[in-house]
Amino acid sequence: MAVLPTHRPLARRRLLAAGVVAAAAAVAVPVRSGPLPPPLRDGDLVFQESKSRQSAAILAATGSRFTHMGIVRWRAGAAYVVEAAATVRETPLQAWTRRGKGGRYAVYRVRNLTAAQTAAMLHAAERYYGRPYDRLFQPGGAALYCSELPRLAFLAIGISLGREQHFRDLNVDDGSVVQLLAERWRQHPRCTGLASADACWQAIQDQPIVTPASIAADSQVTPIYSNF
């Protein structure tokens, strides 16, 4: 997920803030709520507010509490989440939900997904197992950030989930976002030899990103559960 700062006119910042709040509201209405979700299926998408250090920056940048996500997969009668965390891996669903803030999570379902498509998508996700987490949110498969994994896995079966944005499109003036850039900008290949975080921002503001919020807002998915 991508989060990096710039200086914008106040009117534009307010317009962007209104946009991300509206987007968050659009994905916040579950079909079912309460302590128990409906039966989950292979290929369902799960979202949570992560407890990681970068979660506050992602929330500020996107306007959504969905700061981490993964794909449901069943094995031997148990539900797992295929996720890009420290590495791309499968995590038991119960352990995954405990890592979320307050244990809260939401489930979305890709409409009209066939069993054959689901199997092919999960097979595509397996190609990335073991690859590291992408702290710089760069496109490509050498390292992956959380929402990039389902994006690539579903693209492999011809389904494009989420809206591609650029760093400059996000709400990047929040202090937590600025701090994240200050910690990481020297690691970015496009910022090698640059003198400051501001110079780095200018070099990478056109970098594309697909956020968890944009996948949850996609017209091809339906919310089926939330305990937020």
Supply the CATH number for residue 105's domain. 3.90.1720.10
Dist. CA 193–CA 189, nearest whole Å: 9
User: What are phi and psi for residue 110, nearest 5 degrees?
Assistant: -75, 125
d(CA 90, CA 56): 24
Per the structure, the complete domain to which residue 121 belongs is given by 10-226
Query: Does residue 167 belong to any structural domain of this protein?
Result: yes
Cα separation, 22 vs 114, in Å, equals: 31
Predicted local confidence at residue 43, as pLDDT: 98
Query: Residue 26 falls within a domain, yes or no?
Result: yes
pLDDT of residue 25: 38
Please name which of 216, 221, 219 lies closest in space to residue 24, comparing C-alpha atoms. Answer: 216
Residue 164 within a domain: yes
Tell whether 203 is covered by a domain: yes
Domain membership of residue 96 (yes or no) is yes
pLDDT at 53: 86
CA 132 to each of CA 32, 92, 99, 105, 204: distance values in angstroms, whole numbers, following the listed order? 34, 19, 19, 24, 21
Mean pLDDT, the chain cut into blocks of 10 residues (228 residues total): 42 40 41 74 98 94 97 97 98 96 96 98 98 96 97 98 96 91 96 96 96 98 96
CA gap 141, 107 in Å, rounded = 25
Let me know if residue 46 belongs to a domain: yes
Which pLDDT does position 80 carry in this prediction? 98
- Is residue 37 domain-resident? yes
Total tally of structural domains belonging to the chain? 1
What's the confidence (pLDDT) of residue 32? Answer: 60
In a domain, 204, yes or no: yes
> pTM for this one?
0.85
Beta pairing partners, 121: none
